[in-house]
Chain A
Amino acid sequence: MDLLVNGIRRSVDAPPDKPLLWVLREDLGLTGTKFGCGIGRCGACTVHLDGLAVPSCMIPLGSVTGLAITTIEFVAGDQRMARVQQAWLDHRVSQCGYCQPGMIMSALGLLGESPQPSMEAAAARLDVLCRCGSYPRVVKALRALLES
């Protein structure tokens, strides 16, 4: 099966009902996307499909052909991603960092919307779970990004 991952065509030999999360991690070696709950609740596995943030643990491989798949590893040349990651560094968001790829992909999805959501709407929709409690800093980083 052919996939478009981070701008590169990749060929994968896996069953169509295998979740995209495990295709990324096991077949493509893209381990930045994390396994947390397997039911689409924690958001650690968030990736983009054609720019839309989705939990990859709930997406079967067979449903993503022809869609542009973007993961946390996609950094080179993406201005918006660079801005988000810089804001995460400026506000020292990460603690254990395990949820942060999902958190960043989710934030990136919100910032890519037109028009951009209000801070309140963004906070309500940024529902990636962080057990370390980085939320106050995620909010600061998000506010800085929405205001700039």
Chain B
Amino acid sequence: MRSPAERNYLRRIAITTAAYLVLTYICTWTVHHLHPSRLAIYLLALIPTLAVVKMLHVVALYLQEQKDEYLRAQLVRAILVGITFTLVASSFSDFLASYDHGRGLPPFTLFTICWVVTGIAQSVQSHRNRVPDEEGAR
């Protein structure tokens, strides 16, 4: 059974992810079909990143609302793993781009890596804790 903080976290993350996808679609469509000015392109590229900021805000809210210190530590560890993989992938992409004439990782890969790895790290930690309760007392 999930705690209220976990339920809020999952709900907020789902809403923010949906907002990110919608914003990305709208901005990409606008750039490709309406051919905006250079300045407008910079602004359109900035808009989906608001959802990224909101995602970290959702994490901050969870850390504030979750009263269970172990679960808080678990999320912090998972995010550190996610950030580590993201920085490794980012450095790899930059080196690849400089060695191979600008061909780095495909766009949006880093954002996906961060959250997918964070999710995997959380699942692994939860799985490690899934030990059957040995006695039926009380």
| Interaction A to B | no
Q: A-contacting residues of B (Cβ < 8 Å)?
A: none
Q: B-contacting residues of A (Cβ < 8 Å)?
A: none
